[in-house]
Amino acid sequence: MGNWKIGLLFSETGVTSIIEKSQLNGALLAIDQINENGGVLGHKIEPVRYDPGSVDQKYGELSEKLITEHKVKIIFGCYTSSSRKEVLPIIERRNALFFYPTLYEGFEYSSNVIYGGACPNQNSVPLGNYLMENYGKRLFFVGSDYIYPRESNRVMRNVVRQAGGEVLGEVYFDLEAKEIDFAAVTKEINRLKPDAIFSTVVGQSCIEFYKAYLAASGDGTTCPIASLTTNEGEIAAIGPEASAGHITAAPYFRSIESSANQKFLEAYAKKFGTTVDVTSGCETAYSQVHIFARALEETGEIDTDKLREALLGTSYDAPQGQIKIDPDNNHTYLQSRIAKVDAYGEFIIQSQVRRAIKPDPYLVFPTIYDLSFRSLDVAGGVRLDE
């Protein structure tokens, strides 16, 4: 018997390549670690890699190619929801297993997908709470124009409304938007003076947006840009000056102090020479590959139905803390943390929910009064010296 072949479908070029390269590295690191330990049941894991170039349609074509030409039944990949929606019908038709290591807007279930990222009840609600308690109730929404931002804003609008807050504006931009394209909206923000900006701008244009905000003398310490997607990779590209004071909610930040995270970062630094691009998407891809390998050890064969059985309900000590695959919906119990970027461009955790939150992908209107979504302040923040 040869190696265990798995497909990796992350864009190494194009507008979402910053984050997807980070996810790819997370997966590659886990594969290395497993292989160094003798592989799974004596056989190595062999990745088959394709670069869809951030083009939605390519994700579909390449997943078909992975399954038919390379006989791969296990695929890790995708960042945007639109690219996932391309892959979904193909893996369902072929009964393959797809690991999706990205937060998304919910309202999906497929028995062929293991969802590793946060859905709105695990990040939007704690973030909305935090913003309104610490900054104020007048918010402005800026987003990229595709499925995730629109749905995410629908949820956030509802959270804001329940707290008696107000959405001053909601604007969408092309995924290719440049700094100059944001000039009008930063001007409008200056005029309206919201308490915080909720941004669902992703990929390269996210970097452009933060820079445009600084150029328009937007100040993160008084009116932060809050996001669920802007993570370590983007912050590094934005630079400390334009990112200081801004806020992100995610299950994982590089600055988490724990031995599991320490080990993860050390291994990452050893393989890639730096930890600059370690993000929550990277951590999720890393954990998902490990979880898969453990399930494979149990089944001893790549069979979608058997692997699913082994995966559902299983828990894993990830760098973020313990996570668990919810057998009810194939999503993952995740930690919820809120962090603010300091003057050096590092996320400092401000508050967190005490235990992993159960995923609720079909929560139509999350209620902010649900106590399980409330985050608690972390004393003094947490900083990990690199």
Contacts to other proteins by CB under 8 A: 107-111, 328-329, 360-365
> Minimum distance from CB of 366 to other proteins (Å)?
11
Q: Which is nearer to other proteins, 195 or 326 (CB)?
A: 326
Contact 226, 247 (CB under 8 A): yes
> Minimum distance from CB of 104 to other proteins (Å)?
15
Give the Cα separation of 115 and 24 in Å (integer). Answer: 16
Instruction: Write the single-letter amino acid at 82.
Output: S
> Minimum distance from CB of 100 to other proteins (Å)?
15
> Minimum distance from CB of 92 to other proteins (Å)?
8
Three-class SS state of 352:
strand
Q: Which is nearer to other proteins, 111 or 372 (CB)?
A: 111
Backbone angles phi, psi at 207, to 5 degrees: -65, -40
> Minimum distance from CB of 154 to other proteins (Å)?
10
> Minimum distance from CB of 166 to other proteins (Å)?
19
Q: Which is nearer to other proteins, 170 or 179 (CB)?
A: 170
Q: Which is nearer to other proteins, 114 or 247 (CB)?
A: 114
Give the Cα separation of 17 and 51 in Å (integer). Answer: 9
> Within 13 Å of residue 384, how many CA atoms lie on the same side as its CB?
19
Three-class SS state of 2:
coil
Q: Which is nearer to other proteins, 286 or 333 (CB)?
A: 333
The rounded Cα 216 to chain-centroid distance in angstroms is 28
Q: Which is nearer to other proteins, 358 or 374 (CB)?
A: 358
DSSP 15-78: TTHHHHHHHHHHHHHHHHHHHHTT-BTTB-EEEEEE--TT-HHHHHHHHHHHHHTS---EEEE-
| DSSP letter, residue 317 | E
